[in-house]
Amino acid sequence: MSNICRERLDRLLSRLGYGTRKQVAAWVRQGLIEVNGEPAVAASQKVDPACVCVNGEVLDFPYGLTVLYHKPVGAVCSHREQGRLIYDDFPLRWSQRKPPFSSVGRLDKETSGLLIVTDNGQLNHALTSPKHGIGKTYRARLARPLRGDEIELFASGHLLLEGEQTPCLPAQAVRLGEYEMDITVFEGRYHQIRRMFAAVGNHVEALHRRAIGALTLDALALAEGEFRVVDETTLLTWIEHGIAA
């Protein structure tokens, strides 16, 4: 049999967050692991991930894990901070995976909305790099009435955020009311939307990410704190074209 895609059992289970290599060796001795329906013989044996069961169950996403998630207000995009973390909404094992299962960019604690979380570093990079020009659309509720020149200023490519030397890339904004705007940005600076409105003398009271590219949270119909596992090809199609009705 070919060795392509085959990997040591202990390495596989430790990178998928099941346990340490030592624990895997103990589970093999206890007969808790099966390979092709037969008890595993050694922690060092080379296996095809699709043929392994632990406690009678197939492995959790052995070929990569990407999810679409509705981040609630109050959850923090960090593996380490105190308080409520976005990772509390996923199975504990996923936080032990290598490469790490991490959010694509971050949303502030007080921002809600669509977030992608993945263990695929290349995908993460492709979705965040301004080179790929993927828009992220936010709805902002403001403390003060719009002045009237925000759409032009945001689109101008001349807007400077406090403390920065390089102006923001042109952004698209749509006025929804005196105190509300949708705004699409093509880069991801720290607290970008809040700082863009601060630069025009306003203050964001509530911020929600509605879409990444053409993929909207409405179309996904995820409640706050809910997630959906998605394969990479489907995700990229949805980001480009949206979800077909």
Chain residues in the site for ligand URA (CB under 6 A): 107-108, 111, 191-194, 207
Q: Least distance to ligand URA from the beta carbon of 47, Å?
A: 41
Interatomic CA distance for residues 35 and 32, integer angstroms: 10
For the chain, first and last CA: distance in Å? 43
Burial per residue of 130-169, b for 16 or more beta-carbon CB atoms within 10 angstroms, e otherwise? eeeebbbbbbbebeeebeeebbebbeeeebebeeeeeebe
H-helix segments, the chain: 9-15, 21-29, 121-128, 150-156, 192-199, 217-220, 232-241
Q: Least distance to ligand URA from the beta carbon of 84, Å?
A: 15
Give Rg (Cα) of the chain: 22
Contact 86, 117 (CB under 8 A): yes
Q: Least distance to ligand URA from the beta carbon of 146, Å?
A: 17
Q: Least distance to ligand URA from the beta carbon of 173, Å?
A: 13
* 231 noted as active-site residue: no
Nearer to ligand URA, 51 or 85 (CB): 85
Q: Least distance to ligand URA from the beta carbon of 215, Å?
A: 16
Nearer to ligand URA, 52 or 168 (CB): 168
From the candidates 48, 60, 108, 182, give the one annotated as an active-site residue: 108
Nearer to ligand URA, 86 or 207 (CB): 207
Nearer to ligand URA, 53 or 169 (CB): 169
Active site (catalytic) residues: 108
